[in-house]
Amino acid sequence: MATIDYLLLGHITADIAPEGRTLGGTVSYAAPIASQFDHQVGILTSAAPDEPLLFQLMDAATLSVRVAKATTTFENIYPPNASRIQYVHALASKLTYEDIPSGWVNAPLVHLAPLVEEVPPEIVHRFPDSTVMLTPQGWLRQWDEQGKVSFKRWYDEDILSAVDIIVFSKPDVAAAPEMEYEFARAVKHCLVTDGADGGIYYYEGQPMPYRADPVQEVDPTGAGDVFATALLASLPLLDHNMQAAIKVAIRLSAISVTHPGVVVFTPDDINQAIEAARQEFL
């Protein structure tokens, strides 16, 4: 296995769409972005044998795939004037620390990206020398016998205290908004995104609101994953200055919503965002 410096743990997904099965999941959005920062990206995931969607990630990352009976499959339904209804129709295998290739366990950047409880929370304790970021959506979901997804309250201070950075959106905790403050008290760097309204960066529980860059929104799909990945990926390039990394994340997530589908940034996009952050904060 190749040496990697940005480790992603989580399921890829097959998303049922009018055009057929499409690639989804936080790891699928994150890997191309992290690779554009010149990181060597490794993904530990699980999927069905010979899953064709995996080929879309091979240029961006080295893959370690735990073979499963099925690929995790989601369907999103958007009723008019109502909230999204989500179903999970199939689940791949859960992931364990022992599934991580031995050459990857010391990756300096670790991104835990659970979608369906496939990443065990206690794994956070296995990366003491890494910067560990959690995007916790998959620990905040449950589903019934028909696969209909609903919110699940989750909080574990022991787990959260081992996380360096947590990134989630206001809608992720809309059913229990007090969780925003609970997470902010437990994790040193807590970022709560809120779309065009910007968000809040909590440092050791102290809130510092930030604004989003004003842009003409075309498609917000994946913007939260862009924000989180750009934040972690840029940290080593910015002397681990969190405010500078947030500026990069704000800029790139703003660019991402001006394009339909998953955006591929140009080298100029990355370089200009990094340079602007350096000039302001370093």
Mean pLDDT of 132-142: 97
The pLDDT value recorded for residue 72 is 98
To the nearest whole percent, how much of the chain has pLDDT over 90? 84
pLDDT single digits (tens) 238-260: 999 999 999 999 999 999 888 77
Residue 136's identity, in one-letter code, is: P
Q: How far is CA 101 from CA 45, 95, 134, 275, in A?
A: 12, 12, 20, 34
Residues 113, 115, 121, 126, CA torsion sign: negative
Helix (H, G, I), strand (E, B) or coil at 124: helix
The pLDDT value recorded for residue 214 is 85
pLDDT single digits (tens) 60-112: 999 999 999 999 999 988 888 777 899 999 999 999 999 999 999 999 999 99
pLDDT single digits (tens) 189-244: 999 999 889 999 999 999 999 998 888 877 777 788 999 999 999 999 999 999 99
DSSP-derived letter for residue 270 is H
Intra-chain end-to-end CA distance of the chain, in Å? 36
- Residue pair 258/229 in contact (Cβ under 8 Å)? The answer is no
To the nearest whole percent, how much of the chain has pLDDT over 70? 98
Q: Which domains does the chain have, with CATH numbers?
A: 6-281 (3.40.1190.20)
Distance CA 95, CA 114 (A): 10
The pLDDT value recorded for residue 149 is 97
Q: What is the pTM of this model?
A: 0.95
* Number of neighbouring beta carbons within 10 Å of residue 197: 11
